Structure 1
């Protein structure tokens, strides 16, 4: 999926300077499995992720991104992790500071497939036998989602 229009509009005004953005991670689980997809931009295997649109509720963004990227209808159950991702600098020089909100989501319907091209492959993975994920932070997001903890986790100033 291309860069959201609101970000392109901001870039016209501020150039490559850092933009604070809210991102979501949807950890979609069903019957002991989780949906993971291989990102088309860097090849990493991850849960569904995306950017919250202006005025959009973060849980709604997690559900929307799951449908857009993986073709699966899901329902956000609860916030499980809130953390700041270290500044990202893209190949073109654009910088972004993402606050990631990770949600435990439950599968409602549909079989996962790479719906919009943002993921090159998508499928169910057994939670008891997950492959090693290239980005260790993604393992922490999944762990937070399936931990059973009643409260969301926070990094830093706990």
Structure 2
């Protein structure tokens, strides 16, 4: 699904002015199977966005009244055709500003979550928001925003050591709490 109807209605009133919205980032990790070589590493599901041709985890806008974890599951299904379940909260923080090719400006309060597969692991481009989709070794990811590299690293850290993981408060370097 492209831009939600409620956002389109708001845009009719405010034009391209900055809009603050709730967002989600779903970091889908495919762990190393048992018995794999010791050098094997987890893989992450990434999409190549149609609007800016950047590789990212699955992201989206939370609909009014929708819970963020359900938005993450919905976005993964809409964009890749895969069924996932949310396993852990990775963090919450501000993202943006973003200016889209049509001139729309936005900022997001993003909730990042680690997800695991709940079925088939063969993704497909399932909407017009993306050009490509695929699994990437966390050691050989395509170039992407530092924020997305950060949350992917957090997802793997949380997967490996859940007892010691603390969700991140803020995704920007200057906003990190020590």
TM-score when scaled to structure 1?
0.91
- How far 1:77 moved relative to its partner? 1.0
Residue 78 of structure 1, CA deviation: 1.5
Residues 112 and 53 from structure 1, CA distance in 2 versus in 1: closer, same or farther, beyond 3 angstroms? Answer: same
> 1:157 deviation in Å?
5.8
8 Å CA contact 1:38, 1:119 repeated in 2: yes
| 1:134-153 superposed matches below 5 A | 134-148=144-158, 149-153=164-168
Bigger Rg over Cα: 2
List gaps (5 residues or longer) in structure 1.
none
Runs of 4+ residues over 4 Å off in structure 1 = none
Q: Does the Cα contact within 8 Å between 1:75 and 1:106 map onto a contact in 2?
A: yes
Shift, 1:89, TM fit:
2.2
Aligned to 1:74: 84
Count of aligned positions: 157
The equivalent residue for 2:39 is none
Which string of whole-angstrom CA distances, capped at 9 and with x for unpartnered residues, describes residues 60-91 of structure 1?
00000000001100001121021111212223
Of stretches 96-105 and 84-93 in structure 1, the one that deviates more from structure 2 is 84-93
Flag structure 2 segments of 5+ consecutive residues without an equivalent: 32-41, 159-163
| 1:90-118 per-position Cα deviation (integer Å, ceiling 9, x unaligned) | 23332211111110001111211101122
What do residues 14-50 of structure 1 show as CA deviations (whole Å, max 9, x unaligned)? 2222211011111011222111111111111111111
**In structure 1, which of residues 57, 62, 65 is the aligned counterpart of residue 67 of structure 2?**
57
1:77-116, aligned counterparts within 5 Å?
77-110=87-120, 111-116=122-127
1:154 aligns with 2:169: yes
